[in-house]
Structure 1
Amino acid sequence: MNVTRGFIDACEQEALHLSGAIQPHGALLVLDNVARITHASRNLPEWLGVEAEQLVGAPLPESLQDAIKGLGDASGARLAHDAWPLADHDVAIAVTRGDEGQVLIELLPAEDSDGDEEAPSTPSRRESASWPTFRSDTEVAASRETLVTQLRDESGFDRVLFYAFLPGGDGEVLAEARSEAAEGSYLGLRFPASDIPQIARELYARNPWRTIPNAQAESVEVLSASPSRPDLSLVDLRSVSPVHRLYMANMGVVGAISFPLMTANRLAGLISLHAYRPRRLAPPALRQLADKVKRYELARRDYETRQRMELTDTIERRFDAMSREVIDEGGLEAAWPNIGRWLREEFAADGVMLDNGLGLYSDGLHLEPEALEAVLAWCDSDASSTRISESLSRECPDMPLSEVAGLLASEVTLEDGRRLRLLLCRREEVQEVAWGGNPDKPTENPSGEHPIAPRRSFERWVEQRLGYSRPWPANTHLKLLKLRVLASAFGRDE
């Protein structure tokens, strides 16, 4: 989607971790490497009975000194205390080691709170259990439904979404659980990558959860001993971005919790909990929900690992058979009719082109001469040995009109220095993609308080996509990598 460039740039340039403010349901202290307070939130009198100005530059109060004992030295090391005696009541404390060695101390309510006397009480918690071993994609999909339903029931939130990131950065809701208060459904809808900017994704990936009990609440200033603002990358109390505050308001969401879904140390998606009233969960409840998500993720990753191993074994057997056929037939030219047909079937392609430096072979749909020239230049412009595209007309510079809309490209250098190129082609297929609102329509109002704001509508909006092939399967990249390892046989011409 062609989301307004100014909107994306504004989102990516927002230094979320340097907001200099926190959400008001907790308080914050930051210590340097000699345990002196360098930053303190202005609301600390409500928690410690001492003005924030008096705390900045002072040592940590004696009542909190034991709370930081045992904190590891590595960035991101954490300690949690669920009921720490402070003044006349208990508080929860989260202690985190920052990237520069600083100690970040968050003071939090020890109990859940709805912020609404008429809201139902928090449902009873259930112990997390390991997920059964998944044996099929169908079981994985069913488990997502089970997971979001359990999270909704145990959290008391109104809507829970399983939100997965697609290869291009957009997101899609793969599972949803709703209470009676949640109107409409987001299930199956896509949201553009700009809805969750990369800078925000990096913060999600570094924290066990992100909570916003009340997006409408005013932020609290963090006082500093120097002009520099504290790095709040690892602080859950970090204030809510004005753009995100408006985004939530446009969705009708007041309270929210997000849990990251990680794959190979990258953010692969989010579990998002939405409430239409202020709602806060205490750290023990958050840990229980996070543990449930992690156990699901372990089971899913175990399934995907087993799938990759099985796929790799299968591909290797098939490639070995094709290699033997090249040898038995006396070279690639004689074996090409079977090789070409097999490659098209293996990758579900409409056509294949193979250049082994000695000859160009094709089967089925293929690139016209001018299109081939543009594609090869595009491939050469990137250091990657593989390229995957579902829309060459949008991604490949100078791409002329062509029957080929989607392409897989792989290159390997043979022992004698020749370059072997494999191109798998797909023709255009008109697609209908359902979005949560028109992603090309952020609100822009130069005279307003926030000159660029997210769109206001999240109603189902269907885009007819032209110039795209059908999507390549998720295992395509793995297949291409395996093919590169075994491709030397395709370099034989006799």
Structure 2
Amino acid sequence: MTTHRGFLAQCEHELLHLSGAIQPHGALLAVAADGRVTHASDNLGTLLGLDPQSLLGEALPAPLATPLGRLGQLPGARLFVPLVEGVAGDFALLASRNAAGQAVIELLPDNEEEMLLDDVSPLVHIGSREELMMQRQSLVERIVELSGFDRVLFYRFLPSGDGEVLAEALGAGAQGRYLGLRFPASDIPGIARALYVKNPWRSIPDAAAVSVPLLGLDDAPPPDLTLADLRSLSPMHQLYLHNMGVASAISFPLTIGDELTALISCHAVRPRRLPLSRLNRLSQEVESFALAEKTYRTRTRQNMLDGLERHFNGVRRQVTRQGGLRQAWSLLSPWLMTEFDADGAMLCGEGTVLREGLSLEPEALDAVERWCEGEEVVTRISDHLLADCPEMPLSEVAGLLAISLLTPSGERLRCYLCREEEAQEVAWGGNPDKPVEFQSGPVPIAPRRSFETWLETRLGYSRPWPEQARLKLLKLRQLLQEAT
């Protein structure tokens, strides 16, 4: 798939956290470490009856300063105060500490009559792949019910960076379906993914609303709004949502460590704002599922590793009995092909190339050997060698798993597991390779307009390797190392 460099470059260089503006459904203040107000949104007068210009450089008003005293001093600290009185009604206060040490105060209307919800999210248990799929679907259906949005997607990120819709639930206003479709990595650029990881949700009540500027002291740069939910929309994102027919959106991240693995993405065809209490509840639903999935995956990984070691014990005895990996290759290679669902296996050392089944041709082997050079290269994984391996010639081998290990004598061995080409048909939400459109205005390079299903026939790819392939390879390397 071709990626349009100009479009991606513009997306990645947008300083989303330094936009200097917010969405208009709330107000925002930034406060320096000495308690002075450095920035105030231009709508403070309408929402709170406060003159933003007169606040700049002054101490924070007591009704806001008092609760702010409970905010931690370390970057990333957060605080939620459910009730602050304002001219236009009651407000909820969100406060966070940004990387520069500033306190960022968000004031959000929270005076809607809230529907009664259960106090506790249902306990989620996942014991099998089938239960994982079922719980994904239950999650998106429950969020449609609790949010009133028209569409909720479970959007998983693939190793390539592209996204795939694994579950979908529809409300009354939804048209068409996205289930099973993929979307290119450029739809959610890396700079936006980094912000998702650091926040429990991202709420956009009205995607077409005009942003409110932040007023600041003359010498004050824009505040870091990384942790602010009111952060304004990128013009690129605004146009993207418009093209998709989305008037309001909420996203909830699912993460492993600092890696964004999936999003729960909620869409509405009309502007819709949820109170903080509802957003908190929906976030709890997502967290409950995420915890159950992490527990399931941890258990599955451990079972896989235990099984690999158990199955290898018999092979280890044969390797020891026959005097090494080379001597036991006739027994080792079929086991490797079965264990990793490969079409062929190779063992390469100093002056030795052993093969079983599908294998790399001499020129292809030379290219792969160069790709795997270096003591720091322990594993390589590819389902598209022509794209991933530099100088790779045409070959019957389209996919590869590779490990490198040292024998006690200091010899470096490489083991390659090969897969043949398998034509694939991938369904995309719109043509990801459609030429970009250049236009005048704040968005000179526009995202695509159509999200209709577009089928791509992929050549030169093997069957995808499972997501735990790298972990399994590392375990195999350890076992082979012990057997030499």
The interval holding the TM-score normalised by the smaller chain is over 0.9
Q: 1:374 aligns with which of 367, 386, 396?
A: 367
- What secondary structure does 1:482 align onto? helix
Q: Is 2:302 aligned against 1:306?
A: no
Tell me which stretches of 4 or more aligned residues in structure 1 moved more than 6 Å: none
Q: Is the 8 A contact 2:91 2:107 kept in 1?
A: yes
Residue number in structure 2 paired with 1:15: 15
1: CA distance, partners of 2:45 / 2:222 = 21
Instruction: Report Cα offsets for 1:4-35 as digits up to 9, x if no partner.
Output: 11101110011111111000000100011111
Q: CA deviation at 1:124?
A: 4.4
Residue number in structure 1 paired with 2:401: 408
Q: 1:331 aligns with which of 300, 305, 324?
A: 324
1: CA distance, partners of 2:295 / 2:404 = 31
2: CA distance, partners of 1:442 / 1:75 = 42
Q: 1:240 aligns with which of 229, 233, 237?
A: 233
- What secondary structure does 2:309 align onto? helix
2: CA distance, partners of 1:111 / 1:269 = 31
Residue number in structure 1 paired with 2:35: 35
Q: TM-score, normalised by structure 2?
A: 0.97
Q: Is the 8 A contact 1:27 1:108 kept in 2?
A: yes
Residue number in structure 2 paired with 1:429: 422
1: CA distance, partners of 2:227 / 2:186 = 22
Q: Map residues 24-63 of structure 1 onto 2, 5 A cutoff.
A: 24-63=24-63
- What secondary structure does 1:57 align onto? coil
Q: Is 2:73 aligned against 1:73?
A: yes
Q: Is the 8 A contact 2:48 2:88 kept in 1?
A: no
Q: Map residues 208-357 of structure 1 onto 2, 5 A cutoff.
A: 208-225=200-217, 226-357=219-350
Provide closer, same or farther for how the CA distance between residues 382 and 488 of structure 1 changes in structure 2, counting only shifts above 3 A: closer
Provide closer, same or farther for how the CA distance between residues 105 and 448 of structure 1 changes in structure 2, counting only shifts above 3 A: closer
1: CA distance, partners of 2:162 / 2:284 = 26
Residue number in structure 1 paired with 2:194: 202
Q: Is 2:104 aligned against 1:104?
A: yes
Residue number in structure 2 paired with 1:117: none
Q: CA deviation at 1:332?
A: 2.8
What's the Cα RMSD here? 1.6
Amino acid at match of 1:24: P
Q: CA deviation at 1:490?
A: 5.5
- What secondary structure does 1:332 align onto? coil
Q: 2:127 aligns with which of 125, 135, 138?
A: 135
Q: Is the 8 A contact 1:90 1:110 kept in 2?
A: yes
2: CA distance, partners of 1:241 / 1:14 = 8
Long gaps (5+) in structure 2: none
1: CA distance, partners of 2:161 / 2:3 = 13
2: CA distance, partners of 1:461 / 1:111 = 44
- What secondary structure does 1:106 align onto? strand
Amino acid at match of 1:141: M
Which 10-residue stretch deviates more, 273-282 or 410-419? 410-419
Amino acid at match of 1:482: K
Provide closer, same or farther for how the CA distance between residues 112 and 474 of structure 1 changes in structure 2, counting only shifts above 3 A: farther
Amino acid at match of 1:350: D
- What secondary structure does 2:372 align onto? helix
- What secondary structure does 2:431 align onto? coil
Q: Is the 8 A contact 2:193 2:260 kept in 1?
A: yes
1: CA distance, partners of 2:216 / 2:442 = 26
Amino acid at match of 2:6: G
1: CA distance, partners of 2:329 / 2:350 = 15
1: CA distance, partners of 2:408 / 2:350 = 12
Amino acid at match of 1:72: G
Which 10-residue stretch deviates more, 123-132 or 19-28? 123-132
Q: Is the 8 A contact 2:46 2:87 kept in 1?
A: no
Q: TM-score, normalised by structure 1?
A: 0.95
Amino acid at match of 2:257: A
Q: Is the 8 A contact 1:430 1:466 kept in 2?
A: yes
